[in-house]
Chains A and B, each alone.
Chain A
Amino acid sequence: MAVFHRPGTLGEACALMAERGDAMVYGGGTAVQILEKQGVLFASDLVDISGIPGLANIEETSSGVRIGPMTTLRAVETSPLVRRVTPLAARVYGHVANPRVRNTASVGGNLAHGDYRLDPPTALLVLDATVELTSSGGTRTVPLREFFVDFQRTAVRPGEIITAVEIPRQDEAAGSWFAKLSSLSANDWPCASAAALVTGGRRFGRVARRIRLGLGAVAPTPVFTQVEVAADAGADEAVDAARQAAEPLIDPIPDVRGGVAFKRHLALVAVEEAVRLSWEERSDARGFFRDRRRRR
């Protein structure tokens, strides 16, 4: 049974993380509690950071938003600021599990969990978010695209605590979509998920559009890719290009939710859905504004 700590300052928390053998940060607890119940939690100490002031804020910065690690997923989903500055992030955070879990799970804990099926990383990958890590030795920043290093392993080093996630402002004219496909109950983990963001285009005098893709559940880690497509291409061409770009990244883990062939198939369906709807949103200004109104 791990020893439970409830530090009042970040300094105390960092000190505990540095001193104790196998200390683990306790955020919302939704993942840690399950691991504990299953008897597969091997932490010597749990450091609950919910009592540290200032870790649950969402702030607008010059480049986007900065979200504290103890912010609940539900708070991100419903934040007017996040919805305005990075609507794709708000949308994807709203897809995690169910409202009870979203009201408890934390932004930092969600990422630190490092599961390959998580929803938020798909959006954070395409939005080029960064993670701020703090330890008794100081603070460093890791791009999210370098954060997931292996199956359930992240760039967080022993002693480090996630202290912020920064998401750059989303291009207002970008089209975006999140497709989450489950293979068993509709409320299950995704069997394949894809977030897409389509930027650029004639409006900026450029001939190409960029499709950015973040994929969940289809490989041992969340994965990212991007591809450029001519701005006057049709949605079908865009989808084909995106599928070709995504295909080499798809490396599914077979389990009760499906075998490799099925998951590979479903991953490409998710890519198609996310890209097609983003592309159409990008191409159809009216649709874009209609959707923005709905989201508010």
Chain B
Amino acid sequence: MPEDSFETGVAVGERWARTDGRAKVRGELLYAADQPARPCLDVAIHRSTWPHARLVSVDTTDARAMDGVVAVVTGADLHAVLGERMLTGPAFADQPCLAYDKVRYVGEPIAAVIGYGPAAVRRAAEEIDVAYADLEPIHDVDAAIAGTAFVHDELRPSAVFGDLRHLRGKKDTNVNYEYTLRHGNSGAAAETAAHTTSGDFWCPPTHHVPIELPFTAAWPEGDRIEVLSTTQTPSYVRQTLADLLDLPLNRVRVRCAPLGGSFGAKMYDRLEPLAAALAWTQRTAVRIAVTREEAFLLTTRHGAAVTGSMASDEAGDIVAAEADVRYDTGAYADVGPRITAKSGMIANGPYRIANATVRSRCVYTNKPSAGPFRGFGVPQVTWAHESLIDELARARDEDPAAFRRRNLLREGDVAVMGTTMHSADFISCLDAVTGAVGWDAPLEPAAGRLRRGRGVAVGIKAVLTPTISNATLQLNQDGSATLLISTVDMGQGSDTIMAQIAAEVLCLGEGQVRVVTADTDVTPYDTITAGSRSTYHTGNAVRLAAEKMRDRLIGLAAGRLSVETTDIKLTSDGVVSTQTQETLTVPDLLLGHFGARGTTLTTEADFATSWAPYDKETGRSPQVTEHWFAGAAAVQLIVDTATGRVHIEHLAVAGDVGRAINPALVEQQLTGAAVMGIGHALFDELVFDEGQITNGTLLDYQLPSIKDMPDRITPIVIQSPHRSGPFGAKGVGETAIIPLAPAISNAVRDAIGIRFTRLPLTPERIITALAEQHTEGGTA
């Protein structure tokens, strides 16, 4: 569809201010833990000190006797009441909210103390005495595949995903899911290739570190359970709690509040199953407010190993690419199997590749569970393919940007996994970022011990498909609107842009559409607020609901003015008859219709996407996703060869967003993801020692500070409209983080001639590699 068919008027494309910006900077916004709730008892959790052990006994006698303690609940207590329903999870029903037979990671909850005041319950939790019988721990993803110790005795796929059913009851494995892609014969093609590069790559586990800590309160309300929680997935949580407590959906209410950041940390099963199980079984109101140190144990980003190769012929076409991907999902699968497939299928990159093979596995180990994290597993495979293609270009003595440009997928191309590309303008993204950093200008050498370099990388990600969104729109008699959706605003600005989409259709102004915070008693089903899917999916539901509203207004006006509906137009002044120029304001129209002030006119719409499942033999699908995210990053930096520090002079990031509903928010998303990516590239990682996190505090876990910012960041919005996006729009929350680490590493390669395969590029790794280069001329 040509771009001009998305021409817009009053709201879409405008830089409206965030609806919650003022309240946030003034400290007036109420996050979940600040929301008024009924008086709740506090909960402290006793956690495992062993990575892998059978629970022999859990002695709670001393804890129960302590002042302020109301109850102490063990995993065995809950298991006696809830049975196997206690096991929850989005892909596998494998995680108990309190361990009852064995523990699978250091920090796993074993018992909960309920009582008066955080200090009292915490003291009591320390008095719980657990006897363990240790089992062989599994710390490493490759050891988990090869070894004979198993984190789970058998696999337990959840009822949600039909394609996991065949794994039920499978024993003696730590691999809970495997995706394979076969396109042509990559092995044979590689043998006759002119140039081949290969490598073993590693991305460590990381943590999300949102500013707001996770929080859940839960209480029984007659025969119902009410929950107030920090979650990106209220609809999922409602279903999970209904299954856990064996209640119909209408007896489970999950309320949200705006989130103070999340990045995937507050999704699926976090504190909610435990809070609900305690509240329901003890018939009391409880609140779980975890510390920062506990938050590190709740979920992580998957560590991932990728063994990959890429080969080209004399002409510079990519003839073969292979990737063997192993995601470390920790003790519980969470959404790891989904990540394994959806990231595995693009593990060779967004290129025209004649022959491709991917094997992607999701592997249990004795670590905290890994789950969704901005990028959904894609940054880990991008680290491999964008390093490989860079080396391949260098092997060919070709400019890395030009080599990518020649081989990138274009509109209408069929990618290796079988799906046709649309609205994924890699070329414009690549050209924009290389142009911004002056790629073609000669690089001025840095003085003394400093070395300057430039690097570039691209990234591709598929939107989660299939998913479902609903919207309910109330037009109030005074002309203002109230929008009910279950999308959760966590700083990405969804409340602002959903209002813009509705306002665009209804010709309303800034501030005239209010978005109601998700509450499963009030707002309709939405799959998840994640995966950059909300602008497209919820946005389409909002657009459809608003269009129905517009049509209803036109119908009412046609009746009032006795003209055909085709003669009525909705404008910012109200409804206008194009024949008579007679105008009725919306308040007058609704007052006339209902005969009362304060009334509401309601419309609703749903929007769902569909996919074609992977072919069992080849892993290919003609419709694997509803749409693609395309992005690129280019960087110019300086490496200090004495300290090993990397200083970024200019970082340019671009993302094809289809259409920017709010360009300011798009730029902020691109910039925010890029800054997060800087951390992952240079120092952000969870460090484990024998299964124990050794840097799980904000003293030792490092995030980019203001002093780590590049001298200059340039976010660039590329708009290649999607044929069915709302006004052509797609999402943008993850786009810039995907190519970030390889872009930086490629620039380091350019600066000092060393290819790094392990993230992050800490000064120690750089200094060590420089020393080895000096003595051996090798690579890291």
- Chain B CB within 8 A of A3 CB: no
Max count, chain A CB within 10 A of own CB: residue among B683, B703, B706: B683
- Whether B708 lies near A185 (C-beta < 8 A) is yes
18 contacts between A and B (CB under 8 A): A34-B699, A38-B697, A181-B643, A185-B683, A185-B703, A185-B704, A185-B707, A186-B645, A186-B707, A188-B705, A189-B699, A191-B763, A255-B700, A256-B687, A258-B762, A261-B768, A262-B644, A266-B643
Instruction: Give chain A nearest CB distance to B417 CB in angstroms.
Output: 37
CB distance from B614 to the nearest CB of A (A): 40
A212 → chain B, closest Cβ, in Å?
23
Verify if B779 is at the interface (C-beta below 8 Å from A): no
Given A183-B762, A183-B763, A184-B762, A38 and B707 touching (CB < 8 A)?
A: no
Bound complex: CA of A189 vs CA of B644, how far in Å?
Answer: 16
| Cβ of B702 under 8 Å from chain A | yes
- Cross-chain contact of A256 among B643, B645, B700 (Cβ < 8 A): B700
* Residues of chain B within 8 A of A103, CB atoms compared: none
Nearest neighbor of B763 in chain A, beta-carbon distance:
A183
| B707 with A259: CB separation less than 8 A | no
Residue among A187, A255, A256, A265 making CB contact with B767, cutoff 8 Å: A265
CA distance in complex: A152, B616 (Å): 61
B 725-769 to A, binary, CB cutoff 8 A, 1 in contact else 0: 000000000000000000000000000000000000011100110
List of B residues within 8 angstroms of A266 by Cβ: 643, 763, 767
- Please provide the 7 A-B residue pairs with the shortest distance between their CB atoms, ordered closest to farther: A187-B705, A186-B707, A184-B702, A184-B683, A262-B764, A185-B702, A258-B764
Alpha-carbon distance between A266 and B687 when the two chains are bound, in angstroms:
21
User: Which residues of chain B have C-beta atoms less than 8 A from A269's C-beta?
Assistant: 642-643
Chain B residue contacts of A1, Cβ below 8 A: 119
Q: Known contacts A181-B645, A185-B704, A186-B707; can you find 12 more A-B pairs with CB under 8 A? A: A38-B697, A183-B763, A184-B683, A185-B705, A185-B708, A187-B707, A188-B705, A256-B694, A256-B695, A265-B767, A266-B763, A266-B767
CA distance A174 to B700 in the complex (A): 36
Whether the Cβ atoms of B764 and A38 lie closer than 8 Å is: no
A32 → chain B closest CB, angstroms: 14
- CB of A37 closer than 8 Å to a CB of B: yes
Report which residue of A34, A184, A256, A272 has the largest number of chain B beta carbons within 10 angstroms of its beta carbon.
Answer: A184
Residues from chain A with a CB closer than 8 A to the CB of B767 are 262, 265-266
Q: Kindly list chain A residues whose C-beta atoms are within 8 Å of the C-beta of B764.
A: 183, 258-259, 262
> Quick one: closest B residue to A272, CB to CB?
B642
Give complex CA distance A262, B705 in Å.
23
When C-beta atoms are compared, the residue in chain B nearest to A183 turns out to be B763
- B293 within 8 Å of A (CB atoms): yes
Interface bits B188-215 vs A (CB < 8 Å: 1, else 0): 0000000000000000000000000000
CA distance A202 to B697 in the complex (A): 52
The residues of A that contact B695 with a CB separation of less than 8 Å are 256
CA separation between A249 and B683, bound complex, in Å? 28
A187 to B294, CA, bound (A): 24
Docked pose: A191 CA to B764 CA in angstroms: 11
Across-interface contacts of A185 in B (CB, < 8 A): 679, 683, 702-705, 707-708
Residues of chain A at the chain B interface (Cβ within 8 Å): 1, 34, 37-38, 181, 183-189, 191, 255-256, 258-259, 261-262, 265-266, 269, 272
CB of B685, distance to nearest CB on chain A (Å): 9
B363 to chain A, nearest CB (A): 25
CB-CB under 8 A from B702, the residues of chain A are 184-185, 188
B291 at the interface (CB under 8 A from A): yes
In the complex, A37 Cα to B703 Cα: how many Å?
Answer: 20
B708 touching A186, Cβ below 8 Å: yes
Q: Which of B685-732 contact A (CB under 8 A)?
A: 687, 694-695, 697, 699-700, 702-708
CB contact under 8 A between A262 and B768, given known A184-B683, A256-B687? yes
Residue of B nearest to A192 (CB): B643
- Residues of B615-648 contacting chain A, CB below 8 A: 642-645
Check A186 against B705 for contact (C-beta < 8 Å).
Answer: yes
Distance (Å) between the CB of B710 and the closest chain A CB? Answer: 12
CB distance from A93 to the nearest CB of B (A): 18
The CA-CA distance from A186 to B705 in the complex, in Å, is: 7
The answer for the CA separation of A59 and B642 in the assembled complex, in Å, is 40
The residue on B at minimum CB distance from A37 is: B291
Specify which chain B residues have a CB less than 8 angstroms from the CB of A191 in the assembled complex.
Answer: 763
Q: Which of B702, B703, B706 has the most CB of A within 10 A?
A: B702
Residues of A with C-beta under 8 A to B697:
38
- How far is A185 from B643 in the complex, measured between Cα atoms in Å? 13
What separation, in Å, do the CA atoms of A265 and B642 have in the docked complex? 9
Q: How far is the CA of A256 from the CA of B687 in the complex (A)?
A: 7
**How far is A185 from B709 in the complex, measured between Cα atoms in Å?**
10
Nearest A-chain residue to B697, judged by Cβ: A38
Q: Please, how many angstroms separate the alpha-carbon atoms of A185 and B707 in the complex?
A: 8
Identity of the chain A residue whose Cβ is nearest the Cβ of B762 in the assembled complex: A183
CA separation between A186 and B678, bound complex, in Å? 12
Q: Name the distance in Å between A287's Cβ and chain B's nearest Cβ.
A: 18
Q: Which residue of the partner chain B has the closest CB to A186?
A: B707
Q: Which residue of A lies closest to B701 (CB)?
A: A256
Which residues of chain A are near B683, meaning CB under 8 Å? 183-185
Give the Cβ gap from B689 to chain A, nearest Cβ, in Å: 10
In whole angstroms, how far apart are the Cα atoms of A116 and B484 in the complex?
55
Contact of B708 among A187, A261, A272 (CB under 8 A): A187
B386, chain A: closest CB distance, angstroms: 24
Q: Which residue of A lies closest to B760 (CB)?
A: A184
Q: How far is the CA of A62 from the CA of B240 in the complex (A)?
A: 74
Chain A neighbourhood of B768, CB < 8 A: 261-262
- B-chain residues with CB within 8 Å of residue A187 when the two chains form the complex: 705-708
B113 to chain A, nearest CB (A): 15
Give the distance in Å from the alpha carbon of A261 to the alpha carbon of B767 in the complex.
10
Whole-angstrom distance between the Cβ of A208 and the nearest chain B Cβ: 28
* Residue of B708, B764, B768 with most chain A CB atoms under a 10 A cut-off: B764
Listed residue (A181, A259, A262) with the most chain B CB atoms within 10 angstroms of its CB: A262
Nearest to B687 among chain A residues (CB) is A256
B residues less than 8 Å from A256 (CB atoms): 687, 694-695, 700
Within 8 A of A (CB), among B596-613: none
Chain A residues within an 8 Å CB radius of B705: 185-188
Kindly state the separation between the CA atoms of A1 and B767 in the bound complex, as whole angstroms. 45
In the complex formed, the residue of A with least CB distance to B683 is A184
- Docked complex Cα distance between A36 and B370 (Å): 29
**Which residues on the B side are within 8 Å of A255 (C-beta)?**
700
A184 to B695, CA, bound (A): 12
CA A288 to CA B36, docked complex, whole Å: 60
CA of A184 to CA of B701, assembled, Å:
9
Chain A: CB-nearest residue to B707: A186
Bound state CA distance, A256 and B704, in angstroms?
A: 16
**What is the CA–CA distance of A214 and B700 in the complex, to the nearest angstrom?**
24
Chain B residues lying within 8 Å of A183, measured Cβ to Cβ, are 644, 683, 762-764
